[in-house]
Amino acid sequence: MPAHLINPRRSRAEVHELKARLRRGGLHTVCESARCPNLAECFGRPTATFMILGNRCTRGCGFCAVAAGAPLAVDEREPEAVAAAAAELGLRYVVVTSVTRDDLSDGGAGQFAATVRAIRSRLPGAKVEVLVPDFGGSAAALATVLAARPAVLNHNVETVPRLYARVRPQADYGRSLTLLARAAQGGGSRVKSGLMVGLGEDKGEVLGVLEDLRRAGCSVVTIGQYLQPRRDRLPVARYWAPEEYEELAAAGRALGLTVFAGPLVRSSYMAERVFEEGARSEERETRGE
């Protein structure tokens, strides 16, 4: 449901209730930590993107509102707490992400896998999407996550390669593409990625990223407008017009991608709907339509 169609009074009550549920479980969400503009809409449904491994990141990306600093200790009870919250909310589609944990030997992959297994135990019919960091390029860490059989393996490239030094100084575009390609080769999980526009890229560069993602084996891509989440984060270079998102989506479809693009589209926004559309696209492709 578009945010402008939500009853504000009802939405506020449901948002507060969901926040209270999450706090009771000691849980974090990227919706809150990253200051997502769709928070009221998603919490009002109610659904949320769970953020495991604490709410302090070991990296300091120029676009992200998540706090950087000394990471929290890994909570062994967290996977079951996430599963319990998902069951309480009656979710059919659960999205799990994390802060980047370069301090951990496996980058947090074991916690991702344990969380997927816990959710599946509580909600056997639910699909789980994981939005993972790059694990420092570790193939073993990625294999740990894939072995838990998430329905979707999502990893965002975030921006065009030219802007990495400014936007994601501790990340590497090639490393992210390699992770996505390994996930695609591993089979069993649909591979998804996402990026922002409005950081200084041009259309040709974005189209180049779409081509790279398709070659890597991605089937679904999300594209949304970057919005400065805090004053100490990168400024918006420009706002893309609605018709430009439509052009990007059309270009992606021509490559064989399912593309969701729009100003407020975020990587885990309407994730269940995105999954279903991706499944329909794959069926059409299989039938040669």
> Is the Cβ–Cβ distance between 206 and 197 less than 8 Å?
yes
Tell the residue number behind the tokens 């009002």, with chain if given: 44
- What confidence score (pLDDT) does residue 207 get? 98
User: In terms of Cα–Cα distance, which of 207, 286, 195, 268 is closest to 45?
Assistant: 268
Instruction: Decide: helix, strand or coil at residue 135.
Output: helix
> Is the Cβ–Cβ distance between 146 and 188 less than 8 Å?
yes
pLDDT higher than 80, residue 10: no
Q: Structural domain tally of the chain?
A: 1
- What confidence score (pLDDT) does residue 279 get? 73
**Residues forming beta bridges with residue 96, ordered by sequence position:** 50, 130
> Is the Cβ–Cβ distance between 205 and 231 less than 8 Å?
no
Q: Give the structural domain span for 201.
A: 3-286
Lowest mean pLDDT among 3-7, 29-33, 193-197: 3-7
User: pLDDT category, 4, cuts 50, 70, 90?
Assistant: very low
> Is the Cβ–Cβ distance between 209 and 160 less than 8 Å?
yes
pLDDT higher than 80, residue 3: no
Higher per-residue pLDDT: 70 or 141: 141
Burial of 26 (0-12, 13-18, 19+ CB in 10 A): exposed
Alpha helices in the chain, H assignment, sequence order: 8-24, 30-33, 39-43, 78-89, 109-122, 139-147, 164-167, 173-186, 203-216, 242-254, 271-286
Q: Token pair for residue 144?
A: 């740990």
Question: Whole-angstrom Cα distance, residue 191 to residue 155?
Answer: 8
The CATH number of residue 282's host domain is: 3.20.20.70
pLDDT higher than 90, residue 41: no
In this prediction the pTM is 0.89
> Is the Cβ–Cβ distance between 141 and 106 less than 8 Å?
yes
Tell me, what DSSP letter sits at residue 63?
T
CA 207 to each of CA 201, 249, 274: distance values in angstroms, whole numbers, following the listed order: 11, 10, 20
- What confidence score (pLDDT) does residue 267 get? 87
Q: Specify the amino acid at residue 269.
A: Y
Note the pLDDT tens digit of each residue in 215-238: 999 999 999 999 998 899 999 999
CB neighbour list of residue 176: distance below 8 Å, 6 or more residues apart: 134, 155, 156, 157, 193
